[in-house]
Chains A and B, each alone.
Chain A
Amino acid sequence: MDNEAIIKSTGSRIDEEVEGGIWSKFVYVWRLLYRDKAGMLGLAMFLIVVATAVFSPVLSPYDPLKQDLMAAKQPPAWSEKGTMAHILGTDNLGRDMLSRIIYGSRVSLTVGFFGVLIACSLGMTIGLISGYIGGRVDSFIMGGVNMILALPYLVFVVFIASILGRSLFNVILIFGFTNIPIFARITRGEVLRLRESGFVESALSIGATRTRILYSHILPNLLGPLITIATFEMSGMIFYEAGLGFLGLSVPPSTPSWGNMLASGRQYLTIYPWIATFPGLAIVFTGLGMNLFGDWLRDVLDPRLRRTKR
């Protein structure tokens, strides 16, 4: 069919064909990324952190736990008394700062990833039940959720953390469970919106079952908003983990984590500022990257926004 005929028959001038398959999707995502420089920067920052965590043993010059009191409190390489042996200097016990920061990313990302995994999967299930069944069940669940959300978050987390004691596993559980209400509430809102949408009504009108509507129409449309929220929540958890570490309530003190490093650097803040500064910068770097990336995801995952967003 030549172009003219297509115009006449379909009212369409689109003549080039989109090639299906993974490669074209990859190219499309790359084009979307290329247009939003902030999103690209965010993704790059996030990927750097992930790579650091994965390749920690390769990247770090020293064992992060090895103490060398002779070389304690060395400033970074570029300051007067610094040496190239310890680029970011050493802490009060002579452990290499760079190695500790590199290993610290593992704690942060583990807490963030598994915390979000627990919160998202449970929260989504609860939200789905609440929104899709509705009625009394909905009122009951949402009542509970709102009650939990009304508690002051940090106080609540600190309270539980001090009861459970310091371990990575406990920290993941705390963040996983305390963030369920947020995911549950967002899921429920989306489900309520989707349940009223035209395509769900349309699916009902062709005789689709409730199960099919749930799996084929509601779940796929939930993923976009949930992935976006998950990104923001993950950066939130990384911040709070550092906060708990600073208060001495996160992973055991020997474990290299950004929060613990902040805590140990606190008393030397005026004399040896680098001990607290570098883990702080690492936290900011990760959080900023994830938030930029999350902003971009939010725009891209909503097909309606793609065309109109500048």
Chain B
Amino acid sequence: MTKILSVKNLVIKFHTFDGVVHALNNVSFDLQKGETLAIVGESGSGKSVSMLSLLHLLPMPPAKIENGEAWFYGAGKEPVDLLKLNRSGISKIRGGKIGFIFQDALSALNPVMTIGRQISESTMEHLGLSHAKAKEKTIKLLDRVGIPGARQRYDNFPHQFSGGMRQRVMIAVSMACNPKIVIADEPTTALDVTVQAQIVDLTKELQKEFKIAVVWITHDLGVVAGMADRVLVMYAGAPVEIAEAQDLYANPQHPYTIGLMNALPSVKGHEDSRLTSIDGMPPDLMEEPHHCQFAWRCPYTFDRCWKEIPQQIMVGENHVVSCFFDVENRRPRGHV
């Protein structure tokens, strides 16, 4: 496997009216060619911020990238650091080499431009296609994402589509320019569960067909199980666990991941059991972290947890966890 994206030590702060929000604290991860990486976390965990910042989509100010690199290996022979690119450099990659699927398709699509034009113009710009070729490609793509009567609907405006269809258009937009990576930011959260299943399946098919690496940002551990190759769990602005999906669900290592899994009801209907909740609530990001951010809510804390920020520790093949405690064996991990 080869890397397509490598994020190193990303630190982002928001300088707001009330003080400094420590949105991301030292985030590092790799994305392999053609894989699906799910980023799972609750609101405020920094899951969206981490990806938005790579494409310069965060409002700056208040956001400020304090540290970090993001090497993208898909633009030419040499890797480029996305964070160092200037405005024209990033706009070549954004929408071209890296596509984006937003949660709210209605506000992400231009309301006064037909969807056909929105897609074909981006292919003309990024791939240098002629007008006629771009139109043909767009119609083919719309057809591929399951828009019935693609040729007629080429001239429709976004509001003329239903929620699920609009999300399909959004997928077509993101994949129009043969991207290397597609970032999907909670693409199914606003959709009904039957439509969500359609969209998940469609994304999986297209990913295989076009060999795209997909970053699927979500709060729903259920959706992730069916589609992700690897899962990155985030909490309070830092990754707490990265593992292959099968491994993560069978053998979660971080107390937060374990807590999340237990907090889910089983579909099989153990309606006579109680959910195991995680006590407390996420920490206030206004305070600069000096220790493990999960320590407030963790049932396994010991003195070290309140003194240092845990580093990433390899606990198995492709399984990294940021925790001082070995939950399985009920003892602190050795120094690494």
Which residues of A are interface residues toward B (Cβ below 8 A)?
A: 7-8, 11-13, 35, 306-310
Interface string of B189-232 (1 = CB under 8 A from A): 00000000000000000000000000000000000000000000
Known A7-B296, A13-B296; contact A307-B18, beta-carbon cutoff 8 A: yes
The complex places the Cα of A191 from the Cα of B281 at a distance, in Å, of: 35
Interface string of B167-187 (1 = CB under 8 A from A): 000000000000000000000
Taking a contact as CB atoms under 8 Å apart, the answer to whether A12 and B17 are in contact is no
Taking a contact as CB atoms under 8 Å apart, the answer to whether B281 and A11 are in contact is yes
B78 at the interface (CB under 8 A from A): no
User: A104 → chain B, closest Cβ, in Å?
Assistant: 37
Known A7-B296, A310-B62; contact A13-B283, beta-carbon cutoff 8 A: yes
Which residues of B are interface residues toward A (Cβ below 8 A)?
A: 15-18, 61-62, 279-281, 283-284, 296-297
Taking a contact as CB atoms under 8 Å apart, the answer to whether A13 and B17 are in contact is no
Known A309-B17, A310-B17, A310-B61; contact A13-B279, beta-carbon cutoff 8 A: no
- A-B contacts, 18 of them at CB < 8 A, read A7-B279, A7-B280, A8-B279, A8-B280, A11-B279, A11-B280, A11-B281, A12-B280, A12-B281, A13-B280, A13-B283, A13-B296, A306-B17, A306-B18, A307-B18, A309-B17, A310-B15, A310-B62
User: B263 → chain A, closest Cβ, in Å?
Assistant: 13
On chain B, the residues within 8 Å of A306 by CB distance are: 17-18
User: B288 → chain A, closest Cβ, in Å?
Assistant: 15
User: A209 → chain B, closest Cβ, in Å?
Assistant: 37
On chain A, the residues within 8 Å of B17 by CB distance are: 35, 306-310
Taking a contact as CB atoms under 8 Å apart, the answer to whether B296 and A310 are in contact is no
On chain B, the residues within 8 Å of A310 by CB distance are: 15-17, 61-62
User: A235 → chain B, closest Cβ, in Å?
Assistant: 25
Taking a contact as CB atoms under 8 Å apart, the answer to whether A13 and B284 are in contact is yes
On chain B, the residues within 8 Å of A7 by CB distance are: 279-280, 296-297
The complex places the Cα of A67 from the Cα of B234 at a distance, in Å, of: 78
User: A66 → chain B, closest Cβ, in Å?
Assistant: 51
User: B203 → chain A, closest Cβ, in Å?
Assistant: 32
User: B317 → chain A, closest Cβ, in Å?
Assistant: 36
On chain B, the residues within 8 Å of A309 by CB distance are: 17
On chain A, the residues within 8 Å of B16 by CB distance are: 308, 310
User: A181 → chain B, closest Cβ, in Å?
Assistant: 31
Minimal Cβ-Cβ distance residue in A for B15: A310
Known A7-B297, A12-B280; further 10 A-B contacts with Cβ < 8 A: A7-B296, A11-B279, A11-B281, A13-B280, A13-B283, A13-B296, A307-B17, A308-B16, A310-B15, A310-B17
The complex places the Cα of A11 from the Cα of B283 at a distance, in Å, of: 10
The complex places the Cα of A308 from the Cα of B17 at a distance, in Å, of: 7
The complex places the Cα of A11 from the Cα of B297 at a distance, in Å, of: 9
